[in-house]
Structure 1
């Protein structure tokens, strides 16, 4: 019977390791190498089953350092994302492991007379009871993480795809409380479990509550973005309708303009003035870009308008019909940030040097996008904002890179002879 319980315990332990591994992988993606993924699973198994005792500073610190090293070596993401993974999962892992071990130990010594005995002196009944209680605690731990995985899975995915750099910072700050609480209560452990158990439970609840809160923030941001997107579309189509009505009016009057030009045939200056007047009326209605992506049409038109207002020479050659698999929010992140950066850099230049060129299209099985602009040499730093408020800004390129990497793509930036070039390559799915 004891051997059967040992085998069952081993199966439950590996099941728990797998569930915890999947949760962490959902929150923070693993490196793409298959060898690294296999190594990550076995390294995770050492962390997931860590044994925590009361006043056990060595294991608390060892588990923390091991967790940090594990996330740094095997997972992808920014430093803020990796820090969040440690702050979210470490308190819950430590609290659950401690609670299961402490409750199992208290239950065992409460139902047997093994207190004060060495393990070698335990009777068969006591050994059987110890093994059965251990299996029960392993089952409870597995059921707990299965329940957590079932409840949090959709929130973990939402966070992984939707948080910006500033949001990661907010989550990290919120997670400091359960992190400090669980570390402190176990290290300075009072003897009364009535005090310890509620704090462990509160740490677990806080860790998972922060996941829900972060997912709620993501939902709010996406809802606000969809509302903004709808407003942009309404404004875009309202402008187009008005422009088309005005163009029809110009077309209606065109025969009269031709008669005027014919009457002015002998006066070169008057003819030139009339032609320029016609061109100025039509010019405003020629700036609609057809990129193959409705959202991108709106973004390009808006940025082109801002460029003209700043007297920037703006040109775009975009064919993105094959980019339908890219989410609208990511299209906005990539092109919106890139063009905002280009416009701001161009505004620092003399008028004759202001130039922005946007290109995008499919080359075989790769979507290639590029944004080029002239810039002052001292302002060309892709990883650092030139604005005074560095906390509120400076996330353009990192957010572009994150959006591109979501589709397995690459983002590169380079500066050459006073010119800034952002190039993006995304493989077709």
Structure 2
């Protein structure tokens, strides 16, 4: 390493850059701590990083790598303490924070040496430090905001973590190569050149990490759009098939009633009674298709789900006013009610106790709001993310779109979707404002 050839960045300035970079990414994530503990943790993190840099400055040059490892470990600990992130997400944030800290500290020190040389007296260099750090970290926060949406979490797999770590390591080694040796084709030899190379390489590393996350987020959104589109097509096909089946059952049921009347005209009482009993047994299961809520779409959905519940040994109780949802687009109604019932059937179908396999549906109008409420028993823990339960399926990145789509559908009508889980009883509620024309139509229909 080239010793005493170039003025080194003060340890306190380095610690401040590392802490500020961690704060940027902590602010972009959901917080693990409430406000007061968070402020305390951040203050403690700054003290720890200052202490680590002081210790690193006391170590012999041979242990320089140990000092860097301690600083990196302190940054990772601060991120994991404050941000609600998995270990792999924390590693990805660490790589970004480390490169960002190197970039801003390098830029500030390059300007400092240009204007002030090695001097650290007076207030001028502190003003420069404050301006560069404020602009650098605020700009990074603004740029990264689009890559950290509040309503979407980007899972980091092993490949993504390794890629981010590799970029951070290569960026750090290449940016500091000239401080170790000038005997390579990639090293600078003049002081301004060395500073320029370090800042430029750090900037390239930050841009690469920025672009990689943007690409991963775009791919995830494309996969989500594709999955939602496929789900909607499946729901539409399922709805149309259910409607066709129910219409066929209703026609058959209508015909069977005439057959029963004809058989009752049979002269032989014994044969007549046998025929009647056989026919009545054969149509007994079809009477559920005669739901009349006031909405043919809702009738179709509830009948199909009722038959699915019957096959799974699930008790479905329903009190529904179809006129309360007549103003909704049929496919939006399928999205809300169909998805909710699918989730409820899946959850209750896993219960071993038949008495707990219960689903309750209530759809009614209250003043200018339509309430769609679906409740069911469940077992196991429920983790909520952004107010919605997180999927428990193995490939979480390919599931969980149904609830998001339901919330978007409710919000499309100016409504809301909320979920609660208490005492093994899960409740999903959608509130939909009723349009004025729907209220007028309902009032006119109820007038004698």
Q: Same fold (TM over 0.5)?
A: yes
- Could you tell me which residue of structure 1 aligns to residue 115 of structure 2? 112
2-structure distance, mates of 1:288, 1:41: 61
Instruction: Give unmatched runs, 5+ long, in structure 1.
Output: 1-14, 73-80, 374-380, 385-390, 415-421
Matched, 1:23 2:28: yes
Per-residue CA deviation, residues 124-173 of structure 1 (Å, 9 max, x unaligned), is 6xx53663364145224323322332x346xx24525xx8xxxx4xx333
Change (3 A) 1:196 1:97: closer
**Residue among 70, 74, 94 paired with 2:82:** 70
**Residue among 417, 420, 428 paired with 1:410:** 420
Q: What is the CA distance between 1:242 and its match in structure 2?
A: 2.8
Higher relative contact order (CA 8 A, sep 6+): 1
2-structure distance, mates of 1:392, 1:45: 39
TM alignment of 1:342-353, pairs within 5 A = 342-343=348-349
Q: What is the CA distance between 1:235 and its match in structure 2?
A: 1.6
**Residue among 116, 119, 128 paired with 2:124:** 128
Change (3 A) 1:237 1:328: closer
Q: What is the CA distance between 1:205 and its match in structure 2?
A: 2.6
1-structure distance, mates of 2:142, 2:294: 44
1-structure distance, mates of 2:74, 2:294: 54
**Residue among 229, 235, 239 paired with 2:241:** 235
Matched, 1:172 2:157: yes
Name the SS for the 1:159 alignment partner.
coil
1-structure distance, mates of 2:229, 2:375: 29
Change (3 A) 1:263 1:426: closer
Q: What is the CA distance between 1:43 and its match in structure 2?
A: 5.0
Change (3 A) 1:413 1:82: farther
**Residue among 68, 73, 85 paired with 1:61:** 73
Change (3 A) 1:259 1:295: closer
* Larger-gyration structure (1/2): 2
Change (3 A) 1:329 1:241: closer
2-structure distance, mates of 1:84, 1:319: 46
2-structure distance, mates of 1:38, 1:295: 51
Change (3 A) 1:304 1:18: same
Matched, 1:93 2:91: no
What is the root-mean-square deviation in Å for CA atoms of aligned residues? Answer: 5.1
Matched, 1:361 2:362: yes
2-structure distance, mates of 1:413, 1:291: 31
Change (3 A) 1:97 1:408: farther
Maintained 8 Å contact 2:24/2:141: yes
- Between 1:363-372 and 1:236-245, the stretch displaced more is 363-372
**Residue among 141, 144, 147 paired with 2:143:** 147
TM alignment of 1:238-257, pairs within 5 A = 238-250=244-256, 254=258, 257=260
Name the SS for the 2:243 alignment partner.
helix
Maintained 8 Å contact 1:17/1:48: no
Name the SS for the 2:359 alignment partner.
strand
Per-residue CA deviation, residues 68-113 of structure 1 (Å, 9 max, x unaligned), is 11125xxxxxxxx64465345433333223211112212322x236
- Could you tell me which residue of structure 2 aligns to residue 199 of structure 1? 205
TM alignment of 1:33-72, pairs within 5 A = 36-37=34-35, 39-40=37-38, 56-72=68-84
1-structure distance, mates of 2:301, 2:163: 42
- Could you tell me which residue of structure 1 aligns to residue 376 of structure 2? 371
2-structure distance, mates of 1:343, 1:327: 23
Give the alignment's TM-score, normalised by structure 1: 0.60
- Could you tell me which residue of structure 2 aligns to residue 388 of structure 1? none
